[in-house]
Structure 1
Amino acid sequence: MTMVPGRRSSTFTRLLRHGFTDPSAAERLLDLPGLSSVRSDSVLLDALGATADPDLALRGLVRLVEAEEADQRQILLDTLVTAKPLRDRLLGVLGASEALGDHLARHPRDWQVLVTYEATDLHPGVTEFEQELAGADDPDELRAGYRRCLLSIAARDVCGTTDVAETAAELADLATATLRAALRIASAAAPDDAARCRLAVIAMGKCGGHELNYVSDVDVIFVAEPADGAEENKAIQAATRLAAHLMRICSDTTAEGTIWPVDANLRPEGRNGPLVRTLSSHLAYYQRWAKTWEFQALLKARPVAGDTALGAEYVEAVSPLVWQAADRENFVPDVQKMRRRVVDTIPADRVDRELKLGPGGLRDVEFAVQLLQLVHGRSDPALRSGSTLKALGALADGGYVGRVDAVQLDDAYRFLRAMEHRIQLYRLRRTHLVPDDEPDLRRLGRSLGLRTDPIAELNQAWRRHASVVRRLHEKLFYRPLLDAVAQLAPGESRLSTKAATARLVALGYEDPAAALRHLEALSSGVSRKAAIQRTLLPVLLGWFADSADPDAGLLGFRKVSDALGKTPWYLRLLRDEGAAAENLARVLSAGRLAPDLLLRAPEAVTILGDPHGLAPRSRAHLEQEVLAAVGRAGDAESAVAVVRGVRRRELFRTTAADLIGSYGTEDSPAESDPGALVDRVGGAVTDLNAVTIAGALRAAVRAEWGDTLPTRFAVIGMGRFGGHELGYGSDADVLFVHEPREGVDEQEASRAANRVVSEMRRLLQLPTADPPLIIDADLRPEGKSGPLVRTLKSYGAYYRRWSLGWESQALLRAEPMAGDLDLGADFVALIDPLRYPKDGPGEDAVREIRRLKARMESERMPRGADSTLHTKLGRGGLSDVEWTVQLMQMQHARSVPGLRTTRTRQALAAACAAGLIPEDDARTLDEAWVLATRVRNAVMLVRGRPGDTFPSVPRELTAVGRYLGYEEGHVGDMLDDYRRITRRARGVVEERFYGG
């Protein structure tokens, strides 16, 4: 053909349009004798253009035509034109696999196996493949027959007649037929050996799981027994020779290539162990020496060749061992470590291209599925499948994996396996690396149906699926609940009435009958919700039992579950997300306060599943939320209802964090610094109450005055409120100060200020089931007899003329909490000279402070109370420590800036740093103050109401002990420790406060 220089032929243009990357070379091939019909036939060109690699398909077709005898060539080409199934199959294979093109060039007649297109041909099994290989009497015939069968599997695959799972199953069936044929050939070569033993071939790995690759080692285990009358040693030797011959037949490379390596390294002792063992020898090894990974491998064991009865006996014998593997100590961590080691061994330059072993690869799916199977399959036979995708479906059906998660994992696994298949199919090489050159990537993308921009689309889809796999692998494989389920005794990992009753008694539930009713209500039926509950409850029962009141924990869980029963996320959260289930169990069984808060707003359970959910929200964040909600509300009552909702939610967050931090979990050990817990609780509750008051103030102002009150108004925190040391049951001590705006009459301003205080208190005192926020203004000038609100000028006049020593002392903890910030700062400037006097209190004033303290101890202590155990007024309690610290503040704050703080612990630390108190004494006071504060918090958490002394009810006392870190049965130690610590503190108080 003659072409005009600079011009392209119409054929060149057509080839370019059909996806050929080297149209010039394709033109030259089409000019060869006998291919003119291909060149002129648009049907064939269209079919070539539809393949993964049109250039490769054309080269393969040319080689096949040239290899055919002359009389067969035209038959082949005519059939390609007229028979679409053959055209799609043959050209599809040639465009995807250079290796199968090589096979057809050596065996040109094998294209005829692709002609048949009957229903029975669509999904052949072991029987059909055995028939195809029946005529193979030597290894090379077997290799050629194997490739011929592989050709038909690949054709169905690339044409979409089979999906990736069906293709993998067909490859496994072909491997089964091939192993049988290889054993037949080996037995024919050594009939005496075959007569001396019974040999069974057990497929492992992907072959055993019916999910084989195009090119993969076929993992096997050989088990043998003597034939009738044969000596065992000689029988094992004979079986070993047969097994070794079988392996050579499949693994050796000749002119016909190789089938695949047969790998027997999963046998007991690996490559160092005997190739063949008896069944009893296998069992002895597994029962005594086997490692965790060996049981994981046996999950896919399947008899495929040789003595059928022996193979079935082997699988039946090892199966119970597989499903007991999760009972082994550290089973889950061992499997997790093994997966991490695999990733760590991947060379750094390959990890991003590793489709099988890398993060987000196939192994991530398989390990996650297998771990879930081994843990939950002990008691649920439906999970005992060797197939990854079938097992994943069963896990989803049983509620062990979320449906959405299972669908995403299934889709990703299928896509990654399809990539793996097409990468291996090209040259029939065992590889799991994604190619990095453009032609290979282009062919790979097109083979998966990506045609617009194959390389970019492939990379995008691959990374998306890998990301899904990695995310879900981390979620499922490292699920905290999994290890807890694995640690349950056999039979306990799924609920039955008999198992549940026995376990409830053993765990120490006081009312097993009532507990059993709760379990039945939660887990009975065939719904998905019930299935998930049956998985969760055995673990939760143990966590509830590890508390002072397991019955209350289970009852609380039922109430929360009933309240959230119709929300799809609740049980998923407990099953899947972090430590949510364990956190919930700890919170529900620790006392009354946290469960009561949660039951008022059960959706707050999401806090327990968020890794950052237990961290306290900042005051600024909460104030923004509260004030915005008040601005949207229609009236003051509904505004404060929203504010209370925020307070309830945040109070639950704080109590949950406190309980979980105090008790600790396996993932999050108990907080090592009790002082840090106390400071966190005090700060969080103080901020929350300040924000609540700010919200009530805004609601009260808006109800009558709109956006602006006629007077500037501020709320000053006093006592533990001002000191950021509030407990769960503390009142909020406050002062109210106002200052008339410019042009506003002072009497009008005073009336407005008083009305807003009255409205605030009314709103905050509306009946509710939430813990009350009581505002106490009794520390104001003149106490209950004095006006509720004063101007700044009035406060100044009173303090200059009438102020008593105790009032100066009380002002040490005054800090603005809500309202006008500038006015609050002015108030602080007003009182600083009073609370931090220039020369400190005189001797008379110090004597008066000591007299008041002694009087308070004698008069305010409740009648009959044990002074050694009263946290507030008792020996070495809160009052002792605080008055000692406050005396040092009044004496030295002018010269020691660090003492100018409202916080007790900070002031004590500053006094120690300034040399005002020895370090040992400061540590003693701090320890006693922290302990007394924690006891008060514990009492509120356990009883749901405040108290200043230890509970008298044994169960409640035990719960307080658990909060403080004492095991059940050691409450006596707790009381002894409290008395010892506070006695030492009282000694310091006697010396430092009372002057020895």
Structure 2
Amino acid sequence: MTVPGRRSSTFTRLLRHGFTDPSAAERLLDLPDLAPVRDDSVLLDALGATADPDLALRGLVRLVEAQPDDQRHGLLSTLIGAKPLRDRLLGVLGASEALGDHLARHPGDWRALAAYESADLHPGVAEFERGLADATDAVSLRVAYRRCLLAIAARDVCGTIDVAETAAELADLATATLRAALAIARTAAPADAAQCRLAVIAMGKCGGHELNYVSDVDVIFVGEPVDGADEGKALQAATRLASHLMRICSETTVEGTIWPVDANLRPEGRNGPLVRTLSSHLAYYQRWAKTWEFQALLKARAVAGDPELGAAYIDAVSPLVWQAAERENFVADVQKMRRRVVDNIPAAQIERELKLGPGGLRDVEFAVQLLQLVHGRSDATLHSGTTLDALGALAGGGYVGRADAAQLDEAYRFLRAMEHRIQLYRLRRTHLVPEGEPDLRRLGRSLGLRTDPVTEVTREWRRHAGVVRRLHEKIFYRPLLDAVAQLAPGERRLSASAARERLEALGYADPASALRHLEALSSGVTRKAAIQRTLLPVLLGWFADSADPDAGLLGFRKVSDALGKTPWYLRLLRDEGAAAENLARVLSAGRLAPDLLLRAPEAVAILGDPEGLGARGRDHLEQEILAAVGRADDAEQAVAAARGVRRRELFRTAAGDLIASYGTEDRPAEVDAGALVDRVGDAVTDLNAATLAGALRAVVRAGWGDELPTRFAVIGMGRFGGHELSYGSDADVLFVHEPREGVDEQEAARAAGAVVAEMRRVLQLPTTDPPLLIDADLRPEGKSGPLVRTLKSYEAYYRRWSLVWESQALLRAAPMAGDAGLGARFIDLIDPLRYPAEGLGEDAVREIRRLKARMESERLPRGADPTLHTKLGRGGLSDVEWTVQLLQMRHGWAEPGLRTTRTREALAAAHAARLLPTEDAQILDDAWILATRVRNGVMLVRGRPGDTFPSDGRELAALARYLGYGPGHVGDMLDDYRRITRRARAVVEELFYGA
């Protein structure tokens, strides 16, 4: 028993030494066997210096209790007298519960920490092999492995070795373990061993000499027959040996497991044979391998088995690795690899991910490996499989700035040290930063953060991750700027050829022009050039992430040239975080938005306004356009002013569409494609309606002053009336007028005709803006009929002559400009035609079906693929719209929800009225949305309208990115389009044709 006074004193000391539960610690110290610890201040100080004093004390108690009775005092006496052993043993017990468990099961293994010789400080594979030499089966191998691991962990937590040396020792121990496992397998199957030569190639972190405490050990197996042996039988024997080796290391026993041996990096992955001959490996790599497989081979290292065969494998594949950057699909593959694969990480965990999260270890490793593949073709100093060694070589060769490399090295070491200590605690494979305060405290203390370990470790982790995020792009592109800058004599920089190599590998098709743009933008000592040198490394990365980096960089140079003397421009990009990224996305996504922006560069300000990308309503647009028209001297100037507003607002809509579709680093892409389509349709429709209102006001004002002799209205038809315009759609219209009181009908007709003619003339004046074409061919009598009629004339025509197709066309009629009362009366006039009482008769239904079938056979362009034509192709816009319109004409008289000009609204109303099943409605809606988005995307990418997918590879890739498909997935886009529209066509066959 301890007296109360001493207990109080001990309690205080324990608290001061970092024990979080001093009462429990005091009870343990009161155990008879722990008397030497309780009475020795040196041991208490040593416990207090560990990552988790409570854990260290509990582990020490278990270890002491596990000793034979006659050896307990000897262990504690040795600890008191031997500082190296004391620091090592207690350090391990305070950092690793799992190794404490091992020592409790194998109480004599603490002696593995007692030696303090030079070989023990920095052992290699040979020393580890001696430590595993007595293992004869899986169980004894695990015990010996943990004993060796215990020594590595002791050196690690005591700071005898740094994080890179720890990782290298872990890789060497893995090498020795693979050799021991192969020896056990050979002993168990001597006949198999006699038939074949087998080499084990380490990949990944093991191959790169940078293994974690707990990690899969990636391997590839190479087999050959011994002289005179049958190749097939030899490979079967080699496969049995390799499988046995994997089981020895991977299977769980009473002593737990070592680590899984993963052979999935082999050719064809898990679908390929486990063991191949060297020639079979080479045949696969030369013909079928993907870029990521060569990236993986960068770390390949022969570690076990037949040394000559292993060396032959490395000699054979190494040249292929350094030729990978010359492969045809290298750029697309790199773009896929650059997009961080986080889809399988739960959203709640991504911010705790040390490896795959933003600014994680994978970012550093990918950046280094990519630069190695690009520049290692001509520089053999870059051929190291170890990340930090390769980073040092890149800095030494001028491929990465020395300051950037030093920061990246520091960040990587810290993140790897965190990963090591997190895994060491329970020897579990994890890359997640713990959330609980006790775990964070132990982690922080293990890294030497003692003042406020919980706060400090979190702060340091975030700081280093932020450094990695910032440098991940900078190290790719900063040296490119240095390559075109005038550096101080003797300063290392990329050569012109190396700069071109890097740009080409990152997706720039014309690297020489790209370097000229960089020089023009960043050279000089002006404030403008200095800001550009700050912006460009990040912008170049965003451009490289697109389907056309060259277009993005060229567009940025043009915009910068146009606005270079405008003080707010570069300040906007530098200070408004979203503006620069939004600009990069817009400039590299196609032709339409950049063309619009270059004709009005000041519109770039829209990209920095958080609310700037939202469409403005028709009332607001019409008010602005009419005000501009009122300030103009004549109709042509007035329409030019209206076009200026339209140009800016088209850019706003296109930019908002692109940014919503692509997403940004801080904001994911929108996934509601229907909402995106509706947003564009409404925005372009409102803009064109406001422009027509402006043109009408300008023409009337120029010819008649304040009032036209006749009331005049513009009726939108087709997609215009349906609020479903795409960027390149014509505006289908009807013109209607009604003489004012006291005005002669012929005078009114002449005035209305003159207005139409002048509106068409001024709107069709040559311009570089996207045209607003008025199409009045849906008027009565088509091209043969008058362009404008009175309301009474329309009434007479429809009463006497109207055909069923004209009634169908009127389903989408809606007033768009001019006299609102006249427009409303026109709608009242046509409602009985488009929603006939009691629905359509069978003759009318047959006629609509006949017209649709005729259109399908006659109007599809010659040579067009009917499975990929968005308007007239199978399951495209026409199929869906005619099906919906037939439902409207048959049931609109009874179902008010069907009385809408919008296709999707009518489809939803038909479903609500149970006129078609849920699945069919969804299929038609999906197909219509997709076809509309393709049409929008084609206009954005090509700068001109089209109903088919682009044939140019870059344009097709840009369209795929707009639709949400990553690099290299153009084929998936086309397959999905065909699949979705094929299903829609099946529904059309049933609902429209009655099949």
TM-score band, normalised by the shorter chain?
0.5 to 0.7
* Partner SS, residue 532 of structure 1: helix
Alignment partner, residue 939 of structure 2: 940
Cα 1:891–1:533 change in 2 (3 A) is same
Offset of residue 971 of structure 1:
1.3
Q: Residue deviations 1:313-351, cap 9 Å, x none?
A: xxxxxxxxxxxxxx99799989xxxxxxxxxxxxxxxxx
1:986 is matched by which residue type in structure 2?
A: R
Offset of residue 663 of structure 1:
1.1
Q: Residue deviations 1:780-824, cap 9 Å, x none?
A: 000011011111111101000000000000000000000011110
Where do residues 723-872 of structure 1 align in structure 2 (5 Å cutoff)? 723-872=722-871
- In 1, distance between residues paired with 2:358 and 2:967? 29
Alignment partner, residue 560 of structure 2: 561
- In 2, distance between residues paired with 1:725 and 1:829? 22
2:608 paired with 1:623: no
> Contact between 1:719 and 1:810, CA under 8 Å: does it hold in 2?
yes
2:915 paired with 1:916: yes
- In 2, distance between residues paired with 1:844 and 1:801? 18
Cα 1:377–1:748 change in 2 (3 A) is farther
- In 2, distance between residues paired with 1:837 and 1:483? 67
Q: Residue deviations 1:690-729, cap 9 Å, x none?
A: 0010000000000011111111100000000000000111
> Contact between 1:379 and 1:491, CA under 8 Å: does it hold in 2?
no
Cα 1:377–1:668 change in 2 (3 A) is farther
Where do residues 257-656 of structure 1 align in structure 2 (5 Å cutoff)? 284=162, 378=403, 485-488=470-473, 490=475, 492-493=477-478, 495-497=481-483, 498=494, 500-656=499-655
The 10-residue stretch of structure 1 (530-539 or 717-726) with the greater mean CA deviation from structure 2:
530-539
- In 1, distance between residues paired with 2:863 and 2:503? 40
Q: Residue deviations 1:522-573, cap 9 Å, x none?
A: 0011111111111111111111111111111111111111111111111111
> Contact between 1:861 and 1:873, CA under 8 Å: does it hold in 2?
yes
Offset of residue 233 of structure 1:
8.9
- In 1, distance between residues paired with 2:971 and 2:761? 44
For structure 2, the 5+ residue unaligned runs are 1-81, 88-157, 168-352, 361-399, 408-461, 484-493
- In 1, distance between residues paired with 2:681 and 2:941? 17
Offset of residue 493 of structure 1:
4.0
Q: Residue deviations 1:386-427, cap 9 Å, x none?
A: xxxxxxxxxxxxxxxxxxxxxxxxxxxxxxxxxxxxxxxxxx
> Contact between 2:358 and 2:469, CA under 8 Å: does it hold in 1?
no
- In 1, distance between residues paired with 2:466 and 2:787? 55
Alignment partner, residue 972 of structure 1: 971
Cα 1:287–1:762 change in 2 (3 A) is farther
- In 1, distance between residues paired with 2:357 and 2:976? 39
* Partner SS, residue 881 of structure 1: helix
> Contact between 2:586 and 2:594, CA under 8 Å: does it hold in 1?
yes
The alignment covers a number of residue pairs equal to 554
* Partner SS, residue 716 of structure 1: strand
> Contact between 1:481 and 1:581, CA under 8 Å: does it hold in 2?
no
- In 2, distance between residues paired with 1:729 and 1:507? 32
* Partner SS, residue 817 of structure 2: strand
1:544 is matched by which residue type in structure 2?
A: F
> Contact between 1:378 and 1:490, CA under 8 Å: does it hold in 2?
no
2:944 paired with 1:959: no
* Partner SS, residue 789 of structure 2: strand
1:802 is matched by which residue type in structure 2?
A: W
2:912 is matched by which residue type in structure 1?
A: A
* Partner SS, residue 734 of structure 1: strand
Q: Residue deviations 1:658-705, cap 9 Å, x none?
A: 111111112221111111110000110000000010000000000011
* Partner SS, residue 881 of structure 2: helix
Cα 1:328–1:521 change in 2 (3 A) is farther
Cα 1:742–1:781 change in 2 (3 A) is same
> Contact between 2:572 and 2:579, CA under 8 Å: does it hold in 1?
yes
* Partner SS, residue 933 of structure 1: helix
Offset of residue 839 of structure 1:
1.3
Cα 1:774–1:833 change in 2 (3 A) is same
2:667 paired with 1:676: no
- In 1, distance between residues paired with 2:359 and 2:512? 36
> Contact between 1:714 and 1:819, CA under 8 Å: does it hold in 2?
yes
Alignment partner, residue 691 of structure 2: 692
Alignment partner, residue 36 of structure 2: none
Q: CA RMSD in A?
A: 3.1
Offset of residue 927 of structure 1:
0.6
- In 1, distance between residues paired with 2:757 and 2:402? 64
Instruction: Calculate the TM-score normalised by the size of structure 1.
Output: 0.53
For structure 1, the 5+ residue unaligned runs are 1-231, 238-279, 290-326, 335-374, 383-476
- In 1, distance between residues paired with 2:466 and 2:792? 62
- In 2, distance between residues paired with 1:484 and 1:616? 33
- In 1, distance between residues paired with 2:355 and 2:476? 17
- In 1, distance between residues paired with 2:971 and 2:846? 38
Offset of residue 508 of structure 1:
2.1
* Partner SS, residue 487 of structure 1: helix
Offset of residue 285 of structure 1:
7.9
The 10-residue stretch of structure 1 (892-901 or 963-972) with the greater mean CA deviation from structure 2:
963-972
Alignment partner, residue 985 of structure 1: 984
* Partner SS, residue 816 of structure 1: strand
Cα 1:287–1:332 change in 2 (3 A) is farther
* Partner SS, residue 738 of structure 2: strand
Offset of residue 379 of structure 1:
5.2
* Partner SS, residue 735 of structure 1: strand
> Contact between 1:332 and 1:486, CA under 8 Å: does it hold in 2?
no
Alignment partner, residue 97 of structure 1: none
Offset of residue 286 of structure 1:
11
Cα 1:612–1:839 change in 2 (3 A) is same
Alignment partner, residue 994 of structure 1: 993
> Contact between 1:481 and 1:575, CA under 8 Å: does it hold in 2?
no
Cα 1:990–1:481 change in 2 (3 A) is farther
> Contact between 2:642 and 2:694, CA under 8 Å: does it hold in 1?
yes
- In 1, distance between residues paired with 2:803 and 2:640? 40
Cα 1:284–1:883 change in 2 (3 A) is same
1:952 is matched by which residue type in structure 2?
A: S
Cα 1:895–1:533 change in 2 (3 A) is same
> Contact between 1:717 and 1:735, CA under 8 Å: does it hold in 2?
yes
Cα 1:889–1:897 change in 2 (3 A) is same
> Contact between 2:868 and 2:978, CA under 8 Å: does it hold in 1?
yes
Cα 1:490–1:283 change in 2 (3 A) is farther
Offset of residue 840 of structure 1:
1.0
* Partner SS, residue 577 of structure 2: coil
Offset of residue 381 of structure 1:
12
Cα 1:610–1:844 change in 2 (3 A) is same
- In 1, distance between residues paired with 2:662 and 2:405? 33
Cα 1:741–1:659 change in 2 (3 A) is same
- In 2, distance between residues paired with 1:529 and 1:545? 23
Q: Residue deviations 1:451-476, cap 9 Å, x none?
A: xxxxxxxxxxxxxxxxxxxxxxxxxx
Offset of residue 841 of structure 1:
1.1
Cα 1:332–1:871 change in 2 (3 A) is closer
- In 2, distance between residues paired with 1:604 and 1:487? 31
* Partner SS, residue 766 of structure 2: coil
1:629 is matched by which residue type in structure 2?
A: A
